[in-house]
Structures are given as C-alpha cells and as structure tokens.
A = this chain, B = another copy of it.
C-alpha cells in the first residue's frame, strides 16, 4: 500500500487551536500520546482507509508573529498541551513555524487588526483584493511545489470575523469574481482564502463562524471544480451539549420555556469576541442550533464574556427552564469546564482526514455527512447530534472499503493492527523529516 502524505494549510497557523493540532499530530507521529478525542479513531470511521495523521505536512498563514513553540508552551502551562509531547516535538514546531506565511486580515474587525502585526494587505492596506488573492494562491502553490504531498487541505482556524452584510450580493461566482476585480472593500479575509483554495482545487474546511465558503458564489465554484468543502463553526462545548440535550426535551414532549447560556473564557479568542462586532457571528451560530431543535417558542440567550484568568479554558453555565405535565416547571443546569483547544484540535485532524478522503474519491461540493462537527452545518437542517452521527455512519457504510482493515488513527500501513495504536515506523519518520525540514 502506498503511503499518503497530506498537506495541511492552517489559516491562523499560530493560534491556540492550530498549535494544539500540530503539536498533537506530531505527538501521535512520535508516539508520545494516543488519539483520544479523535472521532476518526473510533467506529465507524476506523472502517475507512483515511489518510494517516503522521503523514500530515503542516504550513499556513497568520498575521501574528509569536512562534508556534511559544504558544504551545503557554498551552502546556495551562495544562492543555502535554509536556512530554512538547519536548518531543519542539523541533518539529520550529520547522513548521518557518513555513507560516504572512496573511491578510481584511474585514476581520478592529479587535483583530489592532491585536496583531503585518499583513499581506500591503503598507496601509493599499494592496488590491485580487492582488491579495493572487498572493495566497502563490503561497499555496509554492508549498505544493516544495513538498511532496498528495493534496493540500486548507483549514480556516482564524479569529471570528464580523458577519458580512448582504451576503446575497455574492450569490453567484460571476458576482464574486466581479467583486474581486472591482476591489470590493467588503469581501472578508475568510472568503478570499476559501476562493484561493477552491479555484485551484484544494479542499477547504471552515472551522470558524466566519463566512468562508458559505457565499453562493463559492459554493458554485466548489461544485464546478468538484472540490470538497465544509463548515462552519465547529461545535466543541456548550453547543455540542445543546444538540445532545435538546432532542431529549423534544422527544419527551417537555416544553423548553427558556435556555440561557453564559460562557466565560480567557484566551485570545475570548479577547476578540469581547468586541461586539466579532461576537455577532459567533452568537448567531451558537443560538441558531436550539431554535431548530426546539421551535421558536423558547427564550434563547447566549452570552460570551472574556475572563482573562481562565486562559484557554472555557466555562459555560446553561440554565434550562422547562415545563412538563400539568404545567410543572422544572430546571436543568449544567456547567461545562472545557479546554477549548484540546476539544477543537482533534476535530481539525478528523476533518482533514475526512475531506482528503472525499477529495481522493472525487466527491466534490458540500460534505453534508460531516454535519455532526458543526454548529451551522452547510446545507443541513438537522441539528440532533445523534442523527448527525447517523449521517456519518451511513456515509461510512456506503464507503466501507472492501480491502480496509480496522486501523488506528495514525497509520494505514496495516502493520499495527490494534485500533488506536500509535507508533513510529520508517515512513512516519520520513514525515517527521518533512515537518522538520525547514529547520535544517
């Protein structure tokens, strides 16, 4: 069997989620951690011949200059990144860091642009939009040329942008491309990155609430080019719980009168979301999920606040007030104390594997079977988590490779056998070399 090498391009490559995903992937490759938290490391996905995590070759864009290793070290101090892993992969991180190009922050809101450094928008932002897109495409292409990978998957991990006003003006590819040419000042960075990927046939994953490939013009492009894309806003915490618990209330005919959710968090994401403009996009996708499951009657509030002492930890308190038989009013409260990056990172790796797999099979367009990963799954109305899991299961059932043997998350070479086993073989070392090569 041929070994797969997958190029993974992170927009926001020096942020917490990217740092955790890269450190974790390299830790799996080097055998310091297992694949707990990865959906593709368990049934049903283990029945597919997904590309192995130790074959991932990382690169990306960012506007921050703080080295990956520093971010990962902070996360280790917060108890999130594993210390033994950090030491084992420090050289890998240094190597990958050299492959991070300067990105754009167009329409990312003042909270983002103020926080960070140079961008590829030129001095005083005087570079035209289409020039910016050309630069992004060139960055993708240069990476591909330099590294011997089978394909490049672009994943948006950058801070939440404010929502685009009147997105319907970009409903066709023509309209989008005309806007590009006309140097339309309203086009958001996330959609520029998405366009640059799709137009050259690179699969695209929108892990954030930003616009990305949601615009009609970009969907048209993905369909025309037959490129897989999927999004948006990965569900990792409070919203995940909502989609697990909401159907319970509905199934039992218990009337939810109000569902109030309060989130406090302390990382950079929290700081950006402290800006009302940026928060708007996030709240929209967090709130929407419940009205789909419960109907519009329920009073439904979500708040996100920045509490610096929490670092990368997020605590959510939800208060659900519901009515049962004979108008009896009852209450469910929960508190969720999660490490955002530790919850998000394995899903990033899962999505790269699953989207690369689809691309390999020529399955372009929106990947609806991945709905369980997202707060606002593109082209899917179903928000019941279990039903979304069932959609993934059906996909696997239909694809189950005749030849596939159950295998762990990290390799497809069949040598390991045990599900979830990790280890470093010769090829894995080759990948490691790939990741560390800029270093030398």
Establish whether residues B33 and A326, one from each chain, have CB atoms under 8 Å apart when the complex forms. yes
Residues of chain B lying within 8 A (CB to CB) of residue A394: none
Residues of chain B lying within 8 A (CB to CB) of residue A301: 305, 307
- Central interface residue in A42, A323, A326, A331, by most chain B CB within 10 Å: A326
Establish whether residues A372 and B38, one from each chain, have CB atoms under 8 Å apart when the complex forms. no
Digit string of A235-251 for contact with B (CB within 8 Å is 1, else 0)? 00000110011011011
Residues of chain B lying within 8 A (CB to CB) of residue A342: 324-326, 328, 330
Residues of chain B lying within 8 A (CB to CB) of residue A250: 42
A260 interfacial by beta-carbon distance below 8 Å = yes
Q: Which residue of B38, B327, B385 is within 8 Å of A248 (Cβ)?
A: B385
Chain multiplicity (copies): 4
Q: List the 3 closest A-B pairs by CB distance, nearest first.
A: A386-B386, A37-B325, A257-B309
Q: Which residue of B35, B81, B253, B323 is within 8 Å of A42 (Cβ)?
A: B253
Q: Which residue of B23, B35, B305 is within 8 Å of A260 (Cβ)?
A: B305
A214 interfacial by beta-carbon distance below 8 Å = no
Residues of chain B lying within 8 A (CB to CB) of residue A345: 325-326
Please choose the segment from A2-10, A158-166, A286-294, A314-322 that sits at the chain B interface, where 4 or more of its residues have CB less than 8 A away.
A314-322
Q: Which of A242-269 contact B (CB under 8 A)?
A: 244-245, 247-248, 250-255, 257-258, 260, 262, 264
A372 to B384, CA, bound (A): 16
A308 interfacial by beta-carbon distance below 8 Å = yes
A33 to B384, CA, bound (A): 29
Known: A244-B248, A262-B317, A334-B332. A253 touches B385 (CB 8 A): no
